[in-house]
Amino acid sequence: MIAVYPGSFDPITNGHLDIIERAASVFDEVIVTVSTNSEKRPMFTLEERKEMLAEVCAHLKNVKVDSFTGLLVQYAQKTGAGVIVKGLRAVSDFQYEFEMAMMNRKLAPNVETVFLMTGAENAYLSSSIVKEISALGGAVSEMVPESVAYRMRQRLKEGIRRDEP
């Protein structure tokens, strides 16, 4: 069974990596796919986000990195995936994820959404919080993989990107 794990991944956090590792142990193949129609002002370009994902997933042989535009369920059907994987951190994620899962089922009844729970140590993590901490001078080395923390430091030295959708 092929699963897709979609997100903005701006940037990938330890919480995302946790879900990817769990998904890779459950499904034959996991396609981590970066949404191109998400944030207006991402910190990292699409290519940079894909590079970071590929770097930190290199040890997982059944994980591929890709990107998609448009509806997620159409992308899942095109790639032959039968499952959409989503990570749940806390109850607060549930309402929105439930709505999306129901809507995706309406659009594509043959694609199941499967929720995986993050490890408790990642329950408070999100890309936006990590970006804020980093922008305000806090250490993010325990929240994102080291290669990502390095790129965040570099990006902050250059100034946050503002020029790409």
For the question of residue 16 being annotated catalytic, the response is: yes
For the question of residue 126 being annotated catalytic, the response is: no
Candidate residues 54, 103, 123, 135; the one interacting with ligand PNS per rule CB under 6 A: 103
Q: Cα dihedral sign for 147, 25, 71, 68?
A: positive
State yes or no: residue 8 binds ligand PNS (CB under 6 A).
yes
In single-letter form, the type of residue at position 139 comes to A
Closest listed residue to residue 73, CA positions, set 115, 47, 97, 101 = 101
Q: Per residue, what are the HEC states of 124-140?
A: CCCHHHHHHHHHCCCCC
Candidate residues 13, 14, 104, 122; the one interacting with ligand PNS per rule CB under 6 A: 104
Candidate residues 21, 36, 38, 79; the one interacting with ligand PNS per rule CB under 6 A: 38
Catalytic residues, by residue number, are 16, 40, 89, 127
Binding site for ligand PNS (CB under 6 A): 6-8, 35, 38, 71-72, 100, 103-104
